[in-house]
Amino acid sequence: MSHAEFEKGYFGQFGGSFVPPALQEVLDYLAEQFERYKEDPDFQNEYVYYLKEYIGRENPLTFARNLTEKLNGAKIYLKREDLNHTGAHKINNVIGQILLAKRMGVKRVIAETGAGQHGVATATACAMFNMDCTIYMGAEDTRRQALNVFRMELLGAKVVAVSKGQGRLKEAVDEALNDLVANYKNTFYLLGSAVGPHPFPTMVKHFQSVISEESKRQILEKEGRLPDAVIACTGGGSNAIGAFAHYLHEEKVRLIGVEPDQAATLTHGVPAVIHGFKCLVLLDEEGNPQPTYSIAAGLDYPGVGPEHSFLKESGRAEYYTVTNEEVLEAFQVLSKTEGILPALESSHAIAYACKLAPTMNKDQIIIVNLSGRGDKDVEQVFHMLKK
């Protein structure tokens, strides 16, 4: 790989690839195949076909009239990723990567999952494309998320419980990487967020950019102008980078990422290498990744995508935290005002919109990326509100 190509994996000082040589070879090949197929008209047509026929895109940009009236400020629009098949944005990326795996002639897909959402999305697409599917999951996580394990099994996936170490996401990632290095000839590692070594952050952004491609066209149709702000929650950062992508060069559009206050990577992190790439990381006093905690399982990760790390450092995007109480309140407010139950992850974005909108004028516009639906979280919210 030439120096110029390697530089592609960098966002300022962040990103890159810090992995053993055997894995680097596999990633270089993947980067080359991705670059080749993403420009290929047949590949693009196939991707667009499945976005429409399987995921149900394009999804609406809904004017949240009641929430807007209640907050008495900027107009709020919701980008409805919650209406996608499987109920969140993750499937956009999964379909893109599976189509790439198919072009590469691979029949076996592996992935790792923490709470199970990415595992379920991957198992779903593997069922449809008739791919052999193995999902690595920490043993502790398989106990806490037994129903998601069963969902994946119903979809035909094999779930491997990893009991090494703490039996959490980190150990599952290590096992998945070992599998990839041993079986790279017939195996595709399907990564679920805009994290990891190059080319994953670039590839995941590419497949999630459909969110802002649509929202930009939709807001121009509805309002004849661009929004003043786009707000999204950030875990690894895939729904946020997809929601920001087509506005990055529109300097008047504020781009706002929202994190849990107990997993505030972008707000409190420092540059460090984690899981083979450089990003802002929450470190403890000894310099080890700090345990994070979020009521939204999808936001519980001590690192974050390298491009968000760069957007924070360069000042192009802003990142804020919200508390669990604010998130729970937002979950209920959107349910009551609009009849839409948001995922707890997405409720972070709603919570910040509820603070920002009243400080803006009534002719201003906010787009909130509603990354997923809240049905999966109802039982958890039930227990939290009861106590």
Ligand X SMILES: *Cc1c(COP(=O)(O)O)cnc(C)c1O
- The residue number with the shortest CB distance to ligand X is 372
Decide if residue 68 touches ligand X (CB under 6 A).
Answer: no
Decide if residue 257 touches ligand X (CB under 6 A).
Answer: no
Decide if residue 122 touches ligand X (CB under 6 A).
Answer: no
* CA atoms of 37 and 197, how far apart (whole Å): 19
Beta bridge partners of 185: none
Contact window for ligand X (CB under 6 A) among 18-26, 31-39, 229-237, 283-291: 229-237
Q: Is 2 a catalytic residue?
A: no
Decide if residue 302 touches ligand X (CB under 6 A).
Answer: no
Q: Is 112 a catalytic residue?
A: yes
CB-wise, 184 or 310, nearer to ligand X? 310
Which H or E run includes 255? strand 254-260
Q: Is 371 a catalytic residue?
A: yes
Beta bridge partners of 280: 271
Decide if residue 119 touches ligand X (CB under 6 A).
Answer: no
Decide if residue 15 touches ligand X (CB under 6 A).
Answer: no
Contacts of 327-335 with CB under 8 Å at 24 or more apart are 327/260, 327/295, 327/296, 327/351, 328/295, 328/381, 328/384, 328/385, 329/354, 330/354, 331/374, 331/377, 331/381, 333/67, 333/70, 334/64, 334/67, 335/374
Which of 17, 75, 79, 112 does the annotation list as catalytic? 112
Angstrom CA distances, 158 to 148, 194, 221, 289, stand at 12, 24, 45, 29
Nearest to 225 by CA among 234, 216, 212: 216
Q: How far is the CB of 215 from ligand X (least distance, A)?
A: 15
Q: How far is the CB of 319 from ligand X (least distance, A)?
A: 12
Decide if residue 117 touches ligand X (CB under 6 A).
Answer: yes
Decide if residue 171 touches ligand X (CB under 6 A).
Answer: no
Active site residues: 90, 112, 371
Binding site for ligand X (CB under 6 A): 88, 90, 117, 193-194, 233-240, 298-299, 343, 345-346, 371-372
